Structure 1
Amino acid sequence: MVENIKYMIGVDEVGRGPLAGPLTVAAIAFRLSKIQLGNLMAKRALNARPQIFENIKDSKKLSFKKREEWYNNIKYQISNIKTTSQNSKIKIFLATSSVSNQIIDKIGITKATDLAVKQVIKNLRKKVKITPFNSYFLLDGLLKAPKIFSQKTIIKGDERVPIISAASIVAKVSRDRKMLRFHKKFPYYGFDKHKGYGTSMHRGSIEKYGLSEIHRETYCKFLSSKLKTKSLKLQL
């Protein structure tokens, strides 16, 4: 029942479209205040959010600097209990998960996305006692949690719902940092610039060097006539 819900969880993903690298999902949970629970019961769940997420925006609408600032602020809040004007303590919990390019190639992006959502919930439950009876999920776009959980999927949720916007920032920064690490191993592709997306620079590098071990082969079929047959495994 709605009155038993204690936690609101925002979920978003990044990395469905790139030619290389993982898909990453982030989930952010916070404990609802009495007012926020009232909003939920009145079907105004979009209004439920910690004060620290006021004026937050979708990660796609933020500069690199602003994303990093929000990410660092969110991480800081996780390790510190903040006090609202009602003197009630708010604790924020965060989890991420990533699905590799190999898994995406094997099972397809739709199933890979579902897998990443299930994994991020599993990771979140290691940090906070989330159950199907005490939680409510707000998910962006076409994402969905397992059916046992109460949930709402919101088109353009990363633009409309602060808790989803926060999850989008965490997912984006987490994945970008992974791609920067991959750039050190595979410097010829420019992962530090395009993060694996199909820019003209990236496509040109694929045509010149072939596929690396982090490329999604099923995504790169459109370049198959120009690709080298062997995968490139460059080392530092």
Structure 2
Amino acid sequence: MNIIYVICGIDEAGKGPVLGPMVVGGVSARDMDEVALTGVADSKTLSRKRREFLYDEITEHFVTATIILSAEEIDRLRAEMSMNVIVARAHAEVICKLSCDTAYVDACDVNAERYGRTVAGYTGKRTDAIVAEHKADARYPIVSAASVVAKVTRDRCIERLHEEFGNFGSGYPSDAVTIRFLETYIAESGHPPSCARASWETTRRIMNRLSQPTIFDF
């Protein structure tokens, strides 16, 4: 009887933004080299057009899985656990969806080995079945593929949110368009939009600043 050995790669997009969801993507395959043949690379190094092309290639030829955590879900979970634990649980959930033997994971903890143990604990797998490394999306083609799946899926989520809220940019705190949108929305409505992570320091800082009385209020 032939035993089929399956590997998978896991990565996320949108861990840090103040607006929009976080997406975890996973890709499974029988061999690392067959994923490399797609020409995949870390999604951060690719143009949007190239990511879209590779996304179609990856989803056509390999088994993929994603989960999307909305801003509201992230806020709710952050009341109970750290962001690293949220990501680890989400990584584990996608691993379980793919039913792989060995998972290659982009580590979201300064201690990659500890992160691997955390993910393994949530999957119920042996710790040696989880290969967690920093910059795994640049080192392993299957994690690069997962990064493309996660990034393209998040980009599409952001497009839908733009249709609902207007163009708020990338959603990252470093984006001036994002900050202007958030400041304007809060100033006009008195609360953050539903697509915002209210638990983020960026949101709290804007809320506090805009709620401070000025001399003109007296």
TM-score, normalising length: structure 1? 0.72
**Residue deviations 1:167-204 (CA, integer Å, cap 9, x gap):** 000000001101101111111xx24x41x112111111
Alignment partner of 1:216 is 2:197: yes
Per the alignment, residue 141 of structure 1 pairs with 107
Superposed counterparts of 1:4-43, under 5 Å:
6-32=5-31
When residues 170 and 51 of structure 1 are mapped into structure 2, their CA distance, relative to the original with a 3 A threshold, is: closer
CA RMSD of superposed structures (Å): 2.3
- Secondary structure of the residue aligned to 1:226 is helix
Quick one: which of 176, 181, 184 aligns to 1:200? Answer: 176
Quick one: which of 58, 73, 85 aligns to 1:103? Answer: 73
* Segments ≥4 residues shifted beyond 6 Å: none
- Secondary structure of the residue aligned to 1:158 is helix
Return the structure number with greater helix share: 2
Per the alignment, residue 94 of structure 2 pairs with 120
Query: Given that residues 8 and 95 in structure 2 are in contact (C-alpha distance below 8 angstroms), is that contact kept between their aligned partners in structure 1?
Result: no
Give how far 1:52 is off.
5.1
**Residue deviations 1:197-224 (CA, integer Å, cap 9, x gap):** 1211111111111121110011111222
Per the alignment, residue 232 of structure 1 pairs with none
Unaligned runs of 5+ in 1: 33-47, 78-91, 125-129, 230-236
Q: Distance in 1 between matches of 2:178 and 2:97?
A: 33
Q: Distance in 2 between matches of 1:116 and 1:31?
A: 23
- Secondary structure of the residue aligned to 1:110 is helix
When residues 226 and 76 of structure 1 are mapped into structure 2, their CA distance, relative to the original with a 3 A threshold, is: same
User: What amino acid sits opposite 1:111 in the alignment?
Assistant: V
Per the alignment, residue 147 of structure 2 pairs with 168
Corresponding residue pairs, total? 186
Give how far 1:51 is off.
5.1
User: What amino acid sits opposite 2:27 in the alignment?
Assistant: I
Quick one: which of 43, 65, 76 aligns to 1:59? Answer: 43
- Secondary structure of the residue aligned to 2:68 is strand
- Secondary structure of the residue aligned to 1:25 is strand
Q: Distance in 1 between matches of 2:65 and 2:93?
A: 9
User: What amino acid sits opposite 1:13 in the alignment?
Assistant: E
**Residue deviations 1:58-114 (CA, integer Å, cap 9, x gap):** 00000111111111111222xxxxxxxxxxxxxx21100111212211222223212
Identity among equivalent positions (%) equals: 31
